[in-house]
């Protein structure tokens, strides 16, 4: 049976590639934070307390557009809602007698990648494995954001503008692979693009902030997709 120390060491080993990926991705996120008026320290603090690319980008974008605190809070909640499901799923991997303090600490950094390697562990999950991954992943994410703001303040405006596109490339890399294998996802992506364009050009919505528009579009499209194209459970009853 693995000890807590060996689990921590294995988690750090498996988390190192994640940390390197976070460093690259969060650098472009730092450019976005810099454009929203964040200082390097403020961006670092935002990253180590949020740990979510989509949620942070949504928050930075709304802040840059002059959105309200309520809009930022609601949009971040919607963008990060999937982590609630991940936390529930990961809790089933823990032993029944796992203390509450461990459950709360694990919930702090259940990102897509850390959830993936944690839930894939055979048998019950030792929290110290996930702690090991978090130990290297969180600094990688925070440092990348910090450096993005710093370099954004040093590099020429054209270079900053070019780097700002990098985060959109990351989202395309996330969306395109599943869209190629699912007509439903591809259709929903196309609908979201169309609604985004319509909302930005429709004069009747000129007085509505971009944050509210984004929140409404996200909720409407997600709800419609869940009602019209529910995901079928594998196996069925008795499987």
**Which distant-in-sequence residues (6+ apart) come within 8 Å of 53 by Cβ?**
25, 26, 29, 167, 170
DSSP-based helix, strand, coil % in the chain, nearest 5: 80, 0, 20
Dump pLDDT digits (tens) for 12-67: 999 998 888 888 888 888 888 998 999 999 999 999 988 887 788 888 988 988 88
What is the maximum alpha-carbon separation in the chain? 65
pLDDT above 60 (res 101):
yes
Contact 134, 15 (CB under 8 A): yes
Instruction: Choose between 207 and 125: higher pLDDT.
Output: 125
Domain ranges of the chain: 4-165, 182-230
pTM here is 0.69
pLDDT above 70 (res 5):
yes
* Average pLDDT score over residue span 224-238: 66
């Amino acid at each position: 049976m693995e000890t807590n120390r060996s689990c921590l060491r294995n988690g750090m080993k498996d988390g190192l590639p994640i940390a390197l990926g976070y460093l690259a991705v969060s650098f472009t996120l730092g450019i976005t934070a810099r454009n929203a008026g964040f200082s390097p320290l403020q961006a670092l603090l935002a990253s180590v307390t949020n740990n979510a690319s989509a949620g942070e980008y949504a928050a930075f974008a709304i802040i840059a557009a002059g959105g309200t605190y309520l809009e930022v809070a609601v949009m971040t909640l919607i963008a990060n809602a999937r982590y609630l499901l991940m936390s529930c799923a990961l809790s089933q991997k823990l032993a029944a007698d796992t203390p509450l303090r461990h459950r709360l600490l694990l919930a702090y950094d259940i990102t897509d990648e850390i959830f993936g390697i944690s839930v894939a562990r055979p048998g019950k999950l030792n929290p110290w494995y996930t702690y090991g991954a978090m130990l290297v992943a969180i600094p990688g994410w925070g440092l990348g954001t910090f450096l993005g703001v710093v370099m954004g303040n040093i590099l020429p405006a054209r270079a900053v503008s070019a780097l700002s596109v990098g985060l959109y490339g990351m989202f395309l890399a996330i969306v395109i692979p599943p869209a190629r294998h699912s007509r439903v996802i591809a259709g929903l992506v196309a609908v979201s693009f169309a609604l985004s364009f319509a909302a930005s050009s429709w004069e009747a919505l000129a007085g509505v902030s971009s944050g509210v528009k984004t929140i409404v579009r996200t909720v409407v499209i997600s709800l419609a997709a869940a009602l019209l194209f529910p995901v079928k459970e594998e196996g069925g009853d008795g499987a």
